[in-house]
Each structure stands twice: as C-alpha cells, then as structure tokens.
Structure 1
Amino acid sequence: MVGSTTKMAPGGKGTQSLVIENSGKAAAKKVRLTYVTPVYVNVNEKADLPRGCRMKLADADPYLPQVVSCTLPRLAAGAKKKVTFPVTMTKRARFVGPNFGMGMARPVGTSDADPTDNWTQPIIQSIRPTPAVPQGHVVDLWHSIDVPPLSPQRGRDITFTFGNKGPDMNGPAQLVFVTPFYVNTDHKQPLPPGCSRKLAETDPLLPEVVQCNLRPIPAGAERQLRIPLTLIPGGPRGVVYSLAVIAPDNVNDVERDQTDNLSGPGALNIQG
C-alpha cells in the first residue's frame, strides 16, 4: 500500500489518498482498510466518507488523531484501488514540515502472503502561511521515544522521555500515543497514572489511542513514561511506526515550537 503526500496550510482543507494493490494471484473477496489522520488533522465532517467507511474515533481534539475503518469490495489479482479521504487541518498547527498519519489494509477471510507491505505512513506536508504564536505564557516542550522489540511470547514497555526547555509551566501537559498496527497496550497491566484509552481495540487492524495527563513540567526538567505493549501475531515484520504528540493542556500555556512535540513511535516485530 502507498499513501499520498498532501500539501496543506493550517486552516486549509484537501484530501489524503491510500492506494491498495493486490499483488497476489487470487482475488480478495473483500478488503479491510484503516486510516488514521495525523495530529492536528481531522476528517472533513462537511464532506462524505468513501463508500464502506465509518468513523471509529471522531474526537475533535486537535491532539487526538481520528480513526476511519473501511470495508471495501472485491479486489481482483493485480488490481489497484485508490481510496480518498476528505481532511482539514486545524489553525492550532503552527509548524512547517511533514506530519505523518497511518494506513493499513488486509484481505477479509484469508491470510496475506506478506503483510509487511500492507501498511504505510501518508503525509500531510504542513506549509506556510502558519499562524503566529498566540499571546500567553510561552513554554517549549519536547519528547522522544525508544523502539521496543516485541514477540507474541514477550511484551515490553515503550518509553517516552519528555521535558520542558522552559520556562516553568502554569498547568499540566498531555501526551497522546497511538499504537502501531498489530500492537496493543497490555490490558493485563495498568496504564501509568493519568493515562486512559480513548480507543481500546483488540482488532489488530485498529490501533489503540492512549491519552495521558501529565503534571506541570518545570523548566529544564526531564521525565519518563512507560506504557506496556503486546504484539498480535500475523502482522508486518520489522519496525512498524505510529504517532505521538506532547502539548500543553492549559489555556495559559502556549507552545513555542511544535516541531519537537511530534514523533513517530515504533515497535519492532521479532516474531519467529
């Protein structure tokens, strides 16, 4: 599968496309498709979704991605299918550069010979003009992630390291994490304090979405947050990437530079 790159300025609207190809020798009777918007991007509610698609997570919070689940008709051997989603970008985005979403497809009722090329990262390329930094108490948050190796026999934590370049925050922050495809949060273990699942799914083709409320981060401070993960068998091999964001969660705190608020967390599938 291949995802499009769409140029869009904050406050604008456009489309994002995913192209599915059946490179096998047999037709797929039906195909399931999942599309996850980048952070700061929503599905355009004033336009129609593609036929066979419905919203699984439709929260309008700019820090929460939206999740669309589709069931598509028969795809013949060697055939391609382009699915286009109407999208908008909030004016709360103030950065220039690539902003990654997620997409994955699988045939219904049969296995796939190689699911490793079934997922992609469609891009919304944020372009100028961008809104000015609003008036307020300016802070400068950042975060980074590791890439845990996972197998069906052994889950691991994904570790988020985050901080504030200053000054001190007036209020709390929030961190949003979307699991890669075929990866769940470990439901047998508790999430960190302040974290909850906005989308909780055992379906491997649907990600889970975790939102964490973080206490105010002082200037120069650095902290870590660990979320336990498990691997669902049958998914893509190697590293599969998703998305995450950290941001102030108080109207009195304004982010100086959003470019290091975003990341593409990954999990390494090492199943034998």
Structure 2
Amino acid sequence: MPTATPIPLSPDVIEYVRGVFFDVNERVTARLDRMPTVHEETLDFAFVDAVAEAQGPHLLPSGTLVDIDVHFVGGGRHWDRWEVADIGFIVTFRLDNTLLRTKVVLLQSKRLYPRESEFIEDEGITRPGGFGSLMRPSLPASLGSRTFRFDEACRYKALQVGDTQWQAISHYEKEYNLPVHYLLYHPHSIPTQASIPVAIPLERPIAPPDVGAHVLSGEALRLLTREFSRNYAPSYGELRDGHGQVGYGLPEFVVGRVLSCLDGYVVDDATDNEGLRRVFSQRGAPIAAAVRMDINLPG
C-alpha cells in the first residue's frame, strides 16, 4: 500500500474536520440509541445525511478551503446482498488549486446487535411486497413493550468470520492492494439498554458518545478473529483491544489516521486503478455513498 509523508495542516483545519465527524458520530449514535432494532442501512443514511450538513466550500481563518461533497448511490438490494464497501471516503489535498495528493478509504459498515434482537439484515430496508408491506405493523411494535440490552457479549451478527462477504473483502484487499476498514456502529455507551415502543419525551444523553461509531481495519479484524471458527459472529468484548476500545473512534480515525496519512490508500493511478473502478463505478458491487473532502491550502 502506498505511503506518504503527512501534509501539514493548520490547527483550524484539524478542528473543523474533527467537529464535522464529531457531529456525524453523535447523529448516527443517537439513531441507534433511539431505535435499537434499526437497520444497518438506515445508519448509513444517517451518516451520509450528517456529512451532507457540512456540504459545500467552507473558508477557515487560516485561508484553507474545505469543500465536502456527497454522492449518494442508494441502498436496497445489491448483488448477493453484500458489497465490498458501503461508504467510500475520498480526501484530496491541494495547494492553491494544484492537486498534491488523493487518498481513498473504503468503509464496510456493521452494527452491534442487542442481546434480544433478531438478525434482520437479510432483507434490509427493501422488503417483499414493496409499498404494501408498509401497511403491516413492524415486528417490534406488534410484540408489545420490549427492552433491548447492549453489553460486552453483544455480537456483530452480520459480521461472520469466513463467510462469502468476508472472503470477498479479503480477496479484494489482496488482489488490488486496497485496504478495507470496518465502520462499526454502537450505542452511546456500553452497557446500556433501550425500550420499544420509544417513550416520549425522549431522554437524550448529555455527554458525547462514550462508544459510538468506531473504525477497525480489515487486517486488524482478521487478526483479532483468527482463532474463531467459520460463520462465528464476534462480540464487542472480543474486538476490544488493550486500550478497551474497538479500533478508533470515528472523529479520531478521520483526523488522526486519514488526514495524517496513516490509514487509507494514497492514489496515484485513480483513472487506471481497477480496484477503485470496481467499487465506485460497477453497479454489481456498489457502495451506498461516496464522500469527498477537498482540502485546498492557501498558496
């Protein structure tokens, strides 16, 4: 994987980008806190929508222009119900409009399931019967009041060691030398619990997420799960490292790993790279959305 020396960025750029993804983390986490049975794709939509709030060019006091754009591909049924990546994150660095570097980060999203939740991602938000399916009450509502608990034993049920998607991602990384990272959605804190139906008025956490969205590289994930059997879904506790976290918190990952060029793929062959073309351009293996951040440093 190509590496490069970090491009120096002024403190206001770091703080602005950190703030954008701090808000993204809060928005996505709040959605999972409110409805613990929410579909994975809905959390991706929340991610994209929160990023879109910062869309367009923003001029910082240092004279740096940060321009964020979002290209939404869409959810629904995909090829064999999985993708190599759900969200593509592209960062371009410019000096007075001259391109210095392009970086790409591929994010495969997975959510943590509460103990009491059924595995429902096989259909996602695309349901048999189309519009007519919306006439039926949802399963949680039809079962009456229920409590859902998140703790260290809860599992990423759609993340299964050695399954078809797992193997495809591993093969993709080896064939194209493009790393894939897992964007893992968690509630605000662990342990915690939530009830359905949701009681109004809502009780919202005052403090920032203690857990929330975290990012773990595919390489690190395979290392942590190397002793597990095929189709085993790892738990939150099993993926925590020696620091007590699963990978990096979302704002820290973007600022401390991507902008500093410690993670992601440094692109020098964007138009000819078959791996990037397959993810971003082929409908057979799509992504839900692509996020582009253009950082234009003053001359």
TM-score, normalisation: structure 2: 0.28
- Structure with greater strand share of residues: 1
